[in-house]
Amino acid sequence: MITRATIRENKHHLTVIAALLSMIGPFTIDTYLPSFPAIEADFGISRAMLSQSLAVYLVTFAFSTLFWGPLSDRIGRRLVILISLLLYAMASIGCALADNTSNFMLFRVLQGLAASGGFIASRAMIRDAHDSRNAHKAMAHVTLLFALAPAIAPVFGAWLYSHLGWRSVFWFLTLFGILLLLMTAFIEETLGTERRSSFHPTSVARVYARTLMHKQFPAMTLSLGFTFAGAFLYIAGAPTVIYDFLGLDSNDFGLQFIPMVAGLMLGAYVSSRLSHRFLPTRLIMTGFSIMALAVSLNLTQVTLLEASIPGVIGPLIIYVFGLAILMPALTILALDCFPDNRGAAASMQGFFQMLINAGVASIAVPLLHTNNQHFVLGQLVFLLLAFVLWRFAKYRSGSQTKTENY
């Protein structure tokens, strides 16, 4: 039987595991970005075509979250993580061995299907193992560690590409998946058998219908997705930013990602420190205010100045700093709308976020890539959408809600 003492003993280990599992997404997205020219030449395809390999990964990641979350509510978080990591390692091997575009795209699809399992189940695990305020703090710690991935991934990916070729990137992802599988084998389950729910399609559909009809959850989840989209536009569009806007080469991806990660880590640290002092709504508004400042600076520099590393990267640092303050609070508020179905709620969060990211990669980046100013305007639109959705969620909640006072 799972006891509270057992959960407490493992909560720090769970935070580390959850952070490492959250890194799978950035590693799978960012490590192969510096290899784009080589992959394009190897398969004889265009940049636009190769960008779709990112989009198909994100789309399949998004839709597969709808499966993994309810499954984790039924069979437990740990088993879902183990199964998904095994599939992820196999898919990564397939990408490394792919000899044509079709096979490469197929295994990117399988990577997306598998990678979402650990991401969703680990979020639910964090909420299982902590009360609401400590869950915010733990989620901020996850964000703090997760933030390392976008800095490490493109730099390490560029090193692998330069020394061992682009296929070595996917061998690295294989080893990373196997390492996480071995680490997860030693963690304790956080979902007791008495709290497990049905995986029958009718029951799952009923739960998802409840999430979509909830008066706050969809707006909060979409708000979270669009705030992240303002940063993801520059992540998915990194080859354009580095190669086209700034005129740099494959060894310079760290000039964009390392400062962005520093901003994320600092914001996550601040969010963690303030989680016991301020209401989540105050932290969310603080995050929005900082991101609005960043977009204002971005609009100013793109209008008055030539593209430069400080001009392009500086506002991004401020934007992700505000984003990291906001994300843990908004994530936990949304999950707490469904305390008995956190796996399904986490699935819907992941679904909307990854679907938005897929739209950014497959639609926004190709549409906006010709001009630096277009990227800035795209970021502004995403932030405005996020803020309107948050205010709508607040309006629907009334003057005071149970979830507001965790």
**9-13, 133-137, 159-163, 340-344: which has the minimum mean pLDDT?**
9-13
pLDDT at 399 (0 to 100):
39
State pTM to two decimals: 0.72
Amino acid (1-letter code) at residue 30: D
**Mean pLDDT computed over 85-99:** 94
| Residue 406 domain-assigned (yes or no) | no
| Residue 56 domain-assigned (yes or no) | yes
222-258 burial code (b ≥16 CB/10 A, e <16)? bbbbbbbbbbbbbbbbbbbbbbbbbeeebebbbbbbb
| Residue 371 domain-assigned (yes or no) | yes
Please tell me which residue, 225 or 236, carries the higher pLDDT value.
225
pLDDT in tens, 28-84: 888 888 888 888 888 888 777 887 788 788 888 888 888 887 888 878 888 889 999
pLDDT in tens, 105-123: 999 999 999 988 888 887 7
| Residue 405 domain-assigned (yes or no) | no
| Residue 226 domain-assigned (yes or no) | yes
Phi, psi (5° rounding) for residue 353? -65, -45
Of the candidates 135, 379, 396, the residue with the CA atom closest to the CA atom of residue 280: 135
Which CATH number fits the domain that encloses residue 269? 1.20.1250.20
Q: Cα(52)–Cα(93) distance, rounded to whole angstroms?
A: 20
Domain of residue 144, residue span: 4-400
Q: Cα(22)–Cα(119) distance, rounded to whole angstroms?
A: 5
Number of H helices and number of E strands within the chain? 18, 0
| Residue 11 domain-assigned (yes or no) | yes
pLDDT at residue 96 greater than cutoff 60? yes
User: Total domain count for the chain?
Assistant: 1
Q: What 8-state DSSP symbol labels residue 188?
A: P
| Residue 220 domain-assigned (yes or no) | yes
Percentage with pLDDT > 90 across the chain? 24
DSSP 251-292: GGTHHHHHHHHHHHHHHHHHHHHHTTTS-HHHHHHHHHHHHH
> Contact at 8 Å (CB) between 365 and 233?
yes
Tokens read off for 355 = 């679907």
**Mean pLDDT computed over 162-171:** 91
| Residue 188 domain-assigned (yes or no) | yes
Residue that the structure tokens 């189940």 belong to: 121
**Mean pLDDT computed over 193-214:** 78
Burial of 106 (0-12, 13-18, 19+ CB in 10 A): middle
